[in-house]
Amino acid sequence: MANHRHVDINSTPIWAKLHQHQRATCHMHMRDLFDTDPHRFQRFSLELDGLLLDYSKNRITERTLELLFDLADAADLKGWMQKMRSGERINVSENRSVLHTGLRLPVDAALSVDGRDVVADVHAVLQRLKVFTDKVRDGQWQGFAGAPIRDVVNLGIGGSDLGPLVVKEALSAYAHPDLNVHFVSNVDGQHLARTLERLDPATTLFIIASKSFTTPETLLNAQAARVWFLREASEVDIARHFVAVSTNEAAVKAFGIDPEHMFGFWDWVGGRYSVWSAIGLPVMLSIGFDNFRAFLDGGHAMDRHFFDSPFASNMPVLMALIGIWYNTFYQAHTHAIMPYDHGLRRLPAHIQQLDMESNGKRVGRNGEALDFDTGPVIWGEEGANSQHAFFQLLHQGTRLVPCDFILPLNSHYPLGNQHDVLVANCLAQTEALMRGKGEAEVMRELSQLSGEQLDMLLPQKLFPGNQPSNTLALDKVTPYSVGMLMALYEHKVFVQGVIWGINSFDQWGVEYGKQLARRILPELSDAVDALAHDSSTNGLIRHYRERHGK
Ligand code: F6P
């Protein structure tokens, strides 16, 4: 296993310099920065293929960025970018390359790793997916009763669910009109039962999506789906109604799926980065193969931008460094993401998994303890709904919450002037968060009041402002722009991981809960009394058994 050169990033002189710079500039108000520089927007924004990043509403100056670029150099960011691009095994704890960028390469690109032609392997699977997708979409692939497929149910969880779900939802304007794609992830029976109650087995196709093909939630749902299917069909019909997406051919076979109906991918694709692989099958079925290719092309355009642009004009690098500025040097603990687009409403959940499973770590890539905060808590909700839910805290609460606003400029569903209203709301929020509302303005609004009433109301109506945000404005939600957006966040997370010295590509933290669940499961039904947990867990197990008459 490679042991990469270790930099104690918080012992570097640039780390200390950034702390000093934060102390020297933290009293600066963004309102004043805008008032003194009419060109701030031009200086702190950049555009790539119809995706504009406005990062001017941040507590930064050019000096802040210079120092952050030095921090990136101290962590050898360029070196790590090159290692990832060329397929070095940078996922050290699992001894794997990290090559989701390879999934987005065009057919004429060249990339070989360990003697294998990655591009040829990727495109061979894409070709099989295209043939299958076309057949299902044009009705040639028929169910056991001779009717075309009308419903597709993706059974998967985590990265085998969220990525494709977000992209499929985002691109509903491109969806096949007669093919409904559903996602069932939770082992809670109601998720599958409620989905299946509306479906006909004769026209339903199941995709069992699991990189490992050992995830209990997914396999239990797959077994239950099979039982439901076999109520009206027979074993031989399974071949036309169940396909698998996995890296584990043996387990797929053992489940009873012919490898001919399996689409593979590789251990160098992390679950949360897998929507670009065969895990994207439900998206392909919904929007068609050519649109899926456009999604890959959008991702690839972002990859080239990321790998080839200098830090000062590199979107993922800028977003990552500004994130580190708040997270590390301002000790902001969370980061909110608000897509002003109903189709993108689950994007915060996907980025939450992407970021928190990648960088939610307390140990560096070589096993050393990190004595500074790493990945933030990522959360968010679609706008304008979020304004009526948690924006009160953003405007007048006590915490620093950096935000990303994601704003499509054109709607696929124009309805009167509703899109203008949505855009106005989004821009108003970023302006209000930045500018705030000072005493003079509030006094003018309260000019009718005086005395105690004024004293009581005035502070309640003040907005401190200085709350930072990025705005990502995309011309329209298209396969290409969604591809760019998703790849942008992937690279942002990678850059932050590099600077903190983290391996962003493993996820040992989810294993322990799985182990304990395996131990507790039999204890829920067997009246084993020698429970050896803490008193709370023992008490809850007994309480469950009592309620179930055990
Ligand atoms: O929650 C951990 C995790 O391993 C994720 O990283 C992954 O996307 C998910 O479980 C599902 O795993 P699989 O695709 O192997 O079923």
Residue 81 domain flag: no
Strand order in the sheet with 180-184: 180-184, 151-155, 204-209, 242-246, 262-264
How far is residue 543 from each of residues 58, 388, 452, 522, 548, measured CA to CA in Å?
Answer: 51, 39, 55, 15, 9
Angle between helix 535-547 and 511-525 (nearest 10): 40
Nearest CA to ligand 1 atom 6: 271
Q: What is the CA radius of gyration of the chain?
A: 25
Number of domains in the chain: 3
Nearest CA to ligand 1 atom 10: 158
Q: Is residue 298 part of a domain?
A: no
Between the CA of residue 53 and those of 16, 348, 379, 466, 484, what are the distances in Å? 29, 18, 20, 19, 12
Ligand 1 atom nearest 279 alpha carbon: 14
> Measured from the CB, is residue 218 less than 6 Å from ligand 1?
yes
pLDDT digits (tens, 9 = 90+) for 380-419: 999 999 999 999 999 999 999 999 999 999 999 999 999 9
Amino acid 526: pLDDT:
76
Q: What is the CATH number of the domain that holds 249?
A: 3.40.50.10490
245: CA distance to ligand 1 center in Å?
Answer: 13
Separation CA 281–CA 289 (nearest Å):
9
The ligand 1 atom at the shortest distance from the C-alpha of residue 272 is 8
Residues 349 and 473 both lie in one domain: yes
C-beta of 271 in contact with ligand 1 (< 6 A): yes
37 domain residue, yes or no: yes
Pocket test for ligand 1, best of 214, 510, 514, 515 (most atoms within 8 A of CB): 510
* Whole-number pLDDT of residue 4: 65
Q: How far apart are CA 72 and CA 320, in angstroms?
A: 10
Calculate the CA dihedral of residues 277, 281, 287, 288 and round it to 10 degrees: 90
| Phi, psi (deg, nearest 5) at residue 164 | -60, -35
Q: Is residue 414 part of a domain?
A: yes
Q: How far is the CA of 158 from the centre of ligand 1 (A)?
A: 5
* 337 contacts 403 by C-beta, under 8 angstroms: yes
Closest residue CA from atom 2 of ligand 1: 510
SS3 242: strand
Inform me whether the pLDDT recorded for 312 exceeds 60.
yes
Write the CA distances from 266 to 53, 70, 217, 545, integer angstroms.
Answer: 33, 35, 21, 42
**Domain end call among 242, 258, 292:** 292
515 in the same domain as 497: no
CB proximity list for 429: less than 8 A, separation 6 or greater? 338, 383, 387, 391, 405, 469
Task: Give the span between the Cα atoms of 12 and 76, in whole angstroms.
Answer: 12
Which DSSP category does 386 fall into? G
Q: How far, in Å, from the CA of 157 to the mean position of ligand 1?
A: 6
Query: For residue 191, what are the contacts with CB-CB under 8 A and spacing of at least 6?
Result: 184, 185, 221
Question: Helix, strand or coil for residue 45?
Answer: strand
Q: Is residue 329 over pLDDT 80?
A: yes
380 alpha carbon to ligand 1 midpoint, in Å? Answer: 22
The Cα 344–Cα 478 span in angstroms is: 11
- Minimum CA distance residue for ligand 1 atom 3: 158
- 496 C-alpha to center of ligand 1: Å? 22
Report the nearest atom of ligand 1 relative to the CA of 209.
14
Please give the distance of CA 131 from its chain centroid, rounded to a whole number: 29
Co-location of 37 and 116 in the same domain? no
Instruction: State phi, psi for 187 to the nearest 5 degrees.
Output: -75, -10
Q: Same domain for 217 and 258?
A: yes
pLDDT digits (tens, 9 = 90+) for 296-311: 999 999 999 999 999 9
The beta strands (E) that lie in 280-340 are given as 334-339
The response to whether residue 145 sits with its C-beta less than 6 Å from ligand 1 reads no
Average pLDDT for the chain? 96
What is the average per-residue pLDDT within 146-158? Answer: 98
Catalytic residues: 357, 388, 514
Partners of 206 in the β-ladder: 153, 242
Residues 404 and 484 in one domain: yes
157 ligand 1 Cβ < 6 A: yes
Residue 2 CA to residue 543 CA, distance in Å, equals 49
Separation of CA 545 and ligand 1 centre (Å): 30
Q: Which of 5-9, 193-197, 232-236, 372-376 is least confident?
A: 5-9
Ligand 1 near 359 CB (within 6 A): no
In this structure, are 191 and 331 located in the same domain?
A: no
Q: Which two tokens stand for residue 118?
A: 């990655």
pLDDT at residue 528 tops 80 = no
CA 161 – ligand 1 centroid, Å = 9
Check whether residue 326 and residue 471 sit in a common domain: yes
Closest atom of ligand 1 to 274 CA is 8
What secondary structure does DSSP assign to 470-509, as a single string? EEEEEEE--HHHHHHHHHHHHHHHHHHHHHHT--TT--GG
Write out pLDDT tens, residues 255-299. Answer: 989 899 999 999 999 999 999 999 999 999 999 999 999 999 999
Does residue 256 sit in the same domain as residue 357?
A: no
Q: 120 in a domain, yes or no?
A: yes
Q: Percent of the chain beyond pLDDT 90?
A: 95
- Of 30-44, 169-183, 497-511, 529-543, the least confident: 529-543
Q: What pLDDT does residue 361 have?
A: 98
Q: How far is ligand 1, taken at its centre, from the CA of residue 159, in Å?
A: 6
Domain-located, residue 34: yes
**Which residue CA neighbors atom 9 of ligand 1 most closely?**
158
pLDDT the model gives residue 525: 87
Any ligand 1 atom below 6 A from CB of 210 = yes
Tell me the average pLDDT across 40-67. Answer: 98
Res 5 pLDDT > 80: no
**Considering only CA atoms, which residue is closest to atom 16 of ligand 1?**
210
State the pLDDT at residue 17. Answer: 98
Mean pLDDT of 168-179: 98
Residues 478-505: what's their mean pLDDT? 98
- H, E, C per residue of 130-191: HHHHHHHHCCCCECCCCCECCEEEEECCHHHCHHHHHHHHHCHHHCCCCCEEEEECCCCHHH
Query: Is the distance from CB of 332 to CB of 375 less than 8 angstroms?
Result: no
* Domain co-membership, 498 together with 518: no
Q: How confident is the model at residue 531 (pLDDT cuts 50, 70, 90)?
A: confident
Sign of the torsion formed by the C-alpha atoms of 29, 35, 37 and 42? positive
For residues 200 and 182, give the distance between their C-alpha atoms in angstroms, rounded to a whole number.
13
Distance CA 60, CA 157 (A): 39
CA gap 129, 123 in Å, rounded: 9
Distance 264 CA to ligand 1 centre (A): 15
Task: Answer yes or no: do 487 and 349 share one domain.
Answer: yes
399 lies in some domain: yes
Half-sphere exposure of 295 (CA within 13 A, CB side): 27
Q: Are residues 194 and 245 in the same domain?
A: yes
> Residues 70-129: pLDDT tens digits?
999 999 999 999 999 999 999 999 999 999 999 999 999 999 998 999 999 999 999 999
Q: Which helix (H) or strand (E) holds 520?
A: helix 511-525
Ligand 1 touching residue 496 (CB < 6 A) = no
pLDDT category, 2, cuts 50, 70, 90?
low
> Domain span at residue 243?
100-292
Is the Cβ atom of 212 under 6 angstroms away from ligand 1? yes
Q: Establish if 86 belongs to a structural domain.
A: no
* Same domain, residue pair 132 and 272: yes
Residue 215 CB–ligand 1 contact under 6 Å = yes
**What share of the chain has pLDDT > 70, as a percent?**
99
Confidence band (pLDDT; 50, 70, 90) for 3? low
C-beta of 158 in contact with ligand 1 (< 6 A): yes
Residue 549 has pLDDT above 90, yes or no: no
Question: 421: pLDDT confidence band, cut at 50, 70 and 90?
Answer: very high
Question: In whole angstroms, what is the distance from residue 359 CA to residue 6 CA?
Answer: 17
Pick from 297, 266, 4, 278: which is nearest to 116 by CA?
266
Which of 161, 185, 208, 212 has most ligand 1 atoms within 8 Å of CB, for mutation? 212
Q: Strands 116-117 and 51-54: what pairing?
A: unpaired
Phi, psi of 263 (to 5 degrees): -115, 125
